[in-house]
Amino acid sequence: MIFYKIDKDGYFLADELLEKPPYKTVKVPKTKWELIEEIPTPINYFEEVPTEELDGYVDVQPPQGMYMAKWNGTEWVEMGIAPTETPQQEIERLKLELEEIDKQSIRPLRAIADNTATQFDKDKLTELDTNAQTIRLRLSELKGV
């Protein structure tokens, strides 16, 4: 059976495949009688009895696409906001995008150099140059911050 592990605050941690439900148990006082030296004597002890409540798990699957799923006792709720990029992370991502544009430019440039370029090659190169200019402008803004 698949259960969904949660922390003490109800936040989703992981899916787990368990053979039996991880029910919480409570200690219930019990008494049993034993003959001690032929005298009936009560012996007190505690017996662990399972409850209907799961211990640190939920049996309801959290919806896909939640960033920070939290179990509120009856349903899953969204409790987080996806982290935003830091300026340095955005700079690194934009540099990778520029490298990808350079790679995509190779074929149209080769066709132009070989005098075999079609209008598609010229249009593609214009589109890539426009995208690269936009990225370079954003990079200069970020580096100025």
Residue pLDDT, tens place only, 50-59: 777 777 888 8
Looking at the fold, whether 61 and 99 belong to one and the same domain comes out as no
Parallel/antiparallel/unpaired status of strands 2-6 and 23-36: unpaired
Domain boundary among the residues 60, 78, 96 is at: 78
User: Is the CB of residue 92 less than 8 Å from the CB of residue 142?
Assistant: no
Looking at the fold, whether 91 and 71 belong to one and the same domain comes out as no
Q: What is the rounded distance in angstroms from the CA atom of residue 22 to the CA atom of residue 3?
A: 9
Closest CA to 91 of 128, 135, 133, 131: 135
Number of helical (H) and strand (E) elements in the chain, helices listed first:
2, 7
Q: What is the rounded distance in angstroms from the CA atom of residue 1 to the CA atom of residue 19?
A: 6
Looking at the fold, whether 115 and 70 belong to one and the same domain comes out as no
Domain boundary among the residues 78, 100, 126 is at: 78
Looking at the fold, whether 62 and 17 belong to one and the same domain comes out as yes
Residue 117's domain comprises 87-144
Looking at the fold, whether 66 and 127 belong to one and the same domain comes out as no
Exposure string for 57-76, b = 16+ CB within 10 A, e = fewer: bbeeebeeeeeebbbeeeeb
pLDDT at residue number 135: 95
Domain boundary among the residues 54, 78, 102 is at: 78
Give, for all 145 residues of the chain, the pLDDT tens digit. Answer: 888 999 988 899 999 988 888 887 788 888 877 777 777 777 777 777 777 777 788 889 998 888 889 988 888 998 866 667 888 999 999 999 999 999 999 999 999 999 999 999 999 999 999 999 999 999 999 888 5
Q: Report the number of distinct structural domains present in the chain.
A: 2
Looking at the fold, whether 16 and 73 belong to one and the same domain comes out as yes
